[in-house]
Amino acid sequence: MEDKRILVIGAGGQVGQELVFNLREKHGANNVVSSDIRDFGDQAGPFEVLNALDKERLFEIVQQYKITDVYHLAALLSATAEKQIEFAWDLNMNSLFHVLNLAKDGHINRIFWPSSIAVFGPNTPRENTPQHTTTDPTTVYGISKLAGERWCEYYHQKFGVDVRSIRYPGLIGYKTLPGGGTTDYAVDIYHQALKSGKYECFLKEDASLPMMYMEDAIRATIELMEADGSRLTIRSSYNLGGISFNPKEIAAEIKKIIPEFEITYQPDFRQKIAESWPSSIDDSFAQNDWDWKMEYDLRKMSEDMIKQLSKLS
């Protein structure tokens, strides 16, 4: 195996912290540099403060640590992006160009950049959404992710850049608190079940969305980056299915572990967003191209979430 020296940009976020931890376990702490716009107290290995828009500083870090692989996670996420439209476009697009150009100019070998189910929209088939389909995003975040997918594909076709991407579904993990997004009810519900035994849900009981346990999402990311490039047929971004469930189904799983748990429904504006997204995803390309297999179904995830959160509380 070639020696990898990895830079994670935007390492302070929900995905970043878990990804850095897993990459360091695999490649050794000193071979994984974490970076973020502010110091979030990463003491376990090298850390650099980096504004993802500062391409000179980015180049310095790449040279200093002889970086081979970049995981570029920095972005303005959905709710925040709606309030800062032009800044979101600037950050989400130009930071990606800086990384793509480093690879084009031969300074790094491989890039991971995440996309999202936010690239889909009201005219996308909602059931078993195919890899190649209508993408008509209705959010600032989704628009920037769709543009990013096209640039990744372009840089691969035109310049041979080895860039790899996954359209993340809603991600569920116990290490970070829910941040108020549409899929975050599926994190909050476990916290509330343990804390008060009841939860008021902001989606309707039958609002199915594609989700994935964080352990699976991190494993998928690393497996895609280690896959044989000659097998990869998608250079925009891979569909990743995860588990599809609705609030009623997750509540039923929780009741098996906490029988007195109660859920009520008070749908708000987020119900509309949920209705514009797919309810399930076809990820057969990921299965065929890099042997992807999901490990955590709804039951296994619920058992682990409650076990881990009980330890923390």
Model pLDDT for residues 148-174, shown as the tens digit of each residue: 999 999 999 999 999 999 999 999 999
- HEC-encoded secondary structure of the chain: CCCCCEEEECCCCHHHHHHHHHHHHHHCHHHEEEEECCCCCCCCCCEEECCCCCHHHHHHHHHHCCCCEEEECCCCCHHHHHHCHHHHHHHHHHHHHHHHHHHHCCCCCEEECCEEHHHCCCCCCCCCECCCCCCCCCCHHHHHHHHHHHHHHHHHHHHCCCEECEEECEEECCCCCCCCCHHHHHHHHHHHHHHCCEEEECCCCCCCEEEEEHHHHHHHHHHHHHCCHHHCCCCCCEECCCEEECHHHHHHHHHHHCCCCEEEECCCCHHHHHHHCCCCECCHHHHHHHCCCCCCCHHHHHHHHHHHHHHHC
- Round to whole Å and give the CA distance between 275 and 182: 10
Are 225 and 112 in contact, with CB atoms under 8 Å apart? yes
For the chain, give the longest Cα–Cα distance. 60
Residues of the chain with CATH 3.90.25: 172-210+242-281+296-312
Half-sphere exposure of 75 (CA within 13 A, CB side): 27
Residues of the chain with CATH 3.40.50.720: 6-171+212-239
Q: Which tokens go with 236?
A: 């925009």
The residues, ordered by sequence, that sit 6+ positions from 230 with a Cβ below 8 Å of its Cβ are none
- Round to whole Å and give the CA distance between 126 and 208: 10
Q: In terms of pLDDT, which residue wins out, 83 or 158?
A: 158
Q: Which tokens go with 176?
A: 């970070």
Q: Which of 152, 187, 160 is nearest to 305 (CA)?
A: 187
> What pLDDT score does 179 carry?
67
- Round to whole Å and give the CA distance between 72 and 36: 11
pLDDT digits (tens, 9 = 90+) for 184-204: 899 999 999 999 999 999 999
- Round to whole Å and give the CA distance between 264 and 199: 6
- Round to whole Å and give the CA distance between 76 and 90: 10
Q: Which tokens go with 113?
A: 């950049």
Estimate the crossing angle of helix 247-257 against helix 185-195, to 10 degrees: 30
- Of the candidate CATH numbers 1.25.40, 3.30.300, 2.60.40, 3.90.25, the domain formed by 172-210+242-281+296-312 belongs to 3.90.25
Tell me which residues are annotated as active site.
141
pLDDT digits (tens, 9 = 90+) for 203-221: 999 999 999 999 999 999 9
Half-sphere exposure of 300 (CA within 13 A, CB side): 11
Residue 175: which pLDDT band, with cuts at 50, 70 and 90?
confident
pLDDT digits (tens, 9 = 90+) for 272-306: 888 888 999 999 999 999 999 999 999 999 999 99
Domain 6-171+212-239: give its CATH architecture: 3-Layer(aba) Sandwich (3.40)
> What pLDDT score does 177 carry?
77
User: Residues 43-48: what's their mean pLDDT?
Assistant: 96
